[in-house]
Amino acid sequence: MGHHHPFLFSLFLLLFSTATADDGATILKLANSITPLPSGWSTKSSTTFCSWHGINCDSSKSRVTSISLSKLSLSGTLPPEISTLSELQSLSVQGNQLSGDLPSLANLTNLQYIFLDSNNFTSIPPGFFQGLTGLQTLSIGNNVNLSPWKLPTDLAQCTSLTTLTANDCQLFGSIPDVFGSLPSLQNLRLSYNNLTGVLPPSFANSGIQNLWVNNQQIGLSGSIEVIGSITQLSQVWLHVNQFTGPIPDLTECKSIFDLQLRDNQLTGIVPASLVSLPNLVNVSLSNNKFQGPVPQFPPSVITVKNEGINKYCAGPGAPCDALVMTLLEIAGGFGYPSTLSDKWDGNDACGWPLVTCDAGKKNVVTVNLAKQQFTGSISPSFAKLSSLKSSVKLITKPGNPFLRTDVDTSSGGTTNGTSSGGTTSGGSSAGSTKIPGGMIAGIIVAVVIFIVVLSFILYKYKKRHPKSGKELKQDGGKAFFKNEVAGGGNGYNKVPIALHGQSSDGDNSKNIFEGGNVAVPIEFLRQVTDNFHEINIIGRGGFGVVYRGELHDGTKIAVKRMESTVMINKGTLHLHGSSGSQLHWMWQEESSICTV
């Protein structure tokens, strides 16, 4: 009788090894990894696995095609052997308390549906998205204990994907720019994660209909411009992020019925193309920095959330002042920068920072947008401010790469754009050059008026003017730098500066200005005043701060830096020399310096 046992044992081994040729062993592993055991399952033998509850096999009755174990209160893990189920088309284990590492499903090309959501999984294996070429739906949301993970660029291999649901599952980092590879994608739900960065440009012209990227911990940022080119969009949840800039033109997005934009940093005027979306039902705009008039939606829009901190000019139904609208158009040229939305609040442009009006508070006389790091374009609406004072000299170099006037720091002509070394400040007539992304950037309006009054302090024991306290008057009422001061377009450091004054008593040797109407480069003034170092401050006048400066030849000068927005078309300024000799120069402004 004892001889029967080895035989039976061998037979069992034979059966077992037969089973390993099909998917039985893997399902047996699964049975031993989860509790409670689903009804009809065995942890000992897999001979009937194809008829177990939730398991489907192909016609050969050896290969598993689907596993359906959703909402069975299962705990335990998914065994790594699941990666061998090469005929698997559908894996549904959602709504359990399964935990531990997810098995690799990479290269299971038959897999079409993966439902892992609402579990307690702790990690995603590397290469998880590789080779899932048949995958249509991946749902992995509500796995709050996953170790933080990024959406990999491997996602691009899931070329059949129509639905990706990955909300509240510890995603961080940026959304990979792979949507050009996912032409079938319709539903993308990435809400309640820690995603950062921008909406990927490849969203444009994708087939996405439902886009949920709301409620990120730190927040997605940048513009939402791309939304305007996803024409099938129907539901768009962007709320609770850090998006900036204006709402794009939504004319082409006729299917949008639900647009949630609240709790961002969006700016600008709410476009008419949003208000007139034909299918719009729900919209939220609250807690942004929207400007202009409060949008008035038709009655077909049922839910409008538009409270909280926006920057509308006035209450609902009230129009904005014409000056306000003009200045908003100017802000629009720069893409409605947040700083301007913060500063330009309300319906009285004459009370706004950076804007100065005339005494009647009717006309804007100056707009000072210097050094705001704005990009974009200079709005033609500047022309509507017909009372702007002072002539403006447009200096297009250096620093405007799209005007090809950026400083050429390379020696071998390796600058981006055309290979021609010359910098031309006019319109670039080389029609073959392409401007990336259609953006024209780098234009900054700086309306900084420097009024320069020079006073000469006579050193070296000149006794020719014994009446040192006497007020001298500049010849002809004009004071100018010599031409070569500003003549050179480059290398300001090497400008052979020689300043001369022209005194009324004909002493040409010491203080001679030679004629010529010259704009004085800021670089030069920085140079001689040690970059307007406060150590060189010698006084504060009604229009600005006066700095001491020294020319290469030792001549001392005083420079008044006018920082306010006051502009003087033609005027005279008085400056008193610091040596005790009171000098009085008339200065006639010929051209303002406007760095652009």
Ligand X SMILES: *[C@@H]1O[C@H](CO)[C@@H](O)[C@H](O)[C@H]1NC(C)=O
Chain residues binding ligand X by CB under 6 A are 97, 99, 104, 106-107, 120, 122, 127, 130-131, 145, 172-173, 194, 196, 217-218, 257-258, 281-282, 303, 415-416
Nearer to ligand X, 146 or 395 (CB): 146
Q: Percent helix, strand, coil in the chain (nearest 5)?
A: 20, 15, 65
Q: CA-to-CA distance for 274 and 251, rounded, in angstroms? A: 7
Minimum CB separation of residue 190 from ligand X in Å reads 14
Minimum CB separation of residue 241 from ligand X in Å reads 13
Q: CA-to-CA distance for 281 and 260, rounded, in angstroms? A: 11
For the beta carbon of residue 277, count every other beta carbon within 10 angstroms. Answer: 22
Minimum CB separation of residue 434 from ligand X in Å reads 12
Q: What's the token pair of residue 147? A: 């170790």
- CB neighbour list of residue 252: distance below 8 Å, 6 or more residues apart: 228, 229, 231
Nearer to ligand X, 42 or 415 (CB): 415
Minimum CB separation of residue 173 from ligand X in Å reads 6
Are 165 and 187 in contact, with CB atoms under 8 Å apart?
A: yes
What are the two backbone dihedrals, phi and then psi, of residue 35, each rounded to the nearest 5 degrees? -135, 150
Q: What's the token pair of residue 572? A: 């005279």
- CB neighbour list of residue 153: distance below 8 Å, 6 or more residues apart: 176, 178
Minimum CB separation of residue 144 from ligand X in Å reads 8
Nearer to ligand X, 146 or 567 (CB): 146
Nearer to ligand X, 283 or 583 (CB): 283
Q: CA-to-CA distance for 259 and 282, rounded, in angstroms? A: 6
Query: What are the CA-CA distances from residue 401 to residues 109, 326, 424, 456, 596 (Å)?
Result: 49, 27, 11, 39, 12
Alpha helix ranges (H) inside 150-264: none
What are the two backbone dihedrals, phi and then psi, of residue 228, each rounded to the nearest 5 degrees? -65, -15
Nearest residue to 194 via CA among 173, 225, 223:
173
Minimum CB separation of residue 215 from ligand X in Å reads 13
Q: CA-to-CA distance for 239 and 260, rounded, in angstroms? A: 6
Q: Is 561 helix (H, G, I), strand (E, B) or coil?
A: strand
Nearer to ligand X, 89 or 267 (CB): 89
Nearer to ligand X, 372 or 415 (CB): 415
Nearer to ligand X, 30 or 256 (CB): 256
Strands lying side by side in the sheet with 187-189: 55-57, 64-68, 90-92, 113-115, 137-139, 163-165, 187-189, 210-212, 235-237, 258-260, 282-284, 303-305
Q: CA-to-CA distance for 15 and 148, rounded, in angstroms? A: 43
Nearer to ligand X, 41 or 402 (CB): 402
Nearer to ligand X, 204 or 281 (CB): 281
Nearer to ligand X, 120 or 425 (CB): 120
Nearer to ligand X, 130 or 209 (CB): 130
Minimum CB separation of residue 148 from ligand X in Å reads 6
Residue appearing with tokens 């002809």: 476
Are 591 and 519 in contact, with CB atoms under 8 Å apart?
A: yes
Q: Is 432 exposed, middle or buried (0-12, 13-18, 19+ CB in 10 A)?
A: exposed
Nearer to ligand X, 104 or 588 (CB): 104
Q: Name beta bridge partners: 149.
A: 171
DSSP 8-state secondary structure symbol assigned to residue 302: -
Minimum CB separation of residue 422 from ligand X in Å reads 17
Nearer to ligand X, 215 or 366 (CB): 215
The H or E element that residue 25 is part of is helix 24-31
Long-range Cβ contact pairs of 149-154 (< 8 A, separation 24 or more): 149/123, 149/124, 150/174, 151/175, 151/176, 151/190, 152/128, 152/176, 153/178, 154/127, 154/128, 154/129, 154/130
Nearest residue to 282 via CA among 269, 301, 306, 298:
301
Minimum CB separation of residue 388 from ligand X in Å reads 33
Minimum CB separation of residue 302 from ligand X in Å reads 6
Nearer to ligand X, 360 or 437 (CB): 437
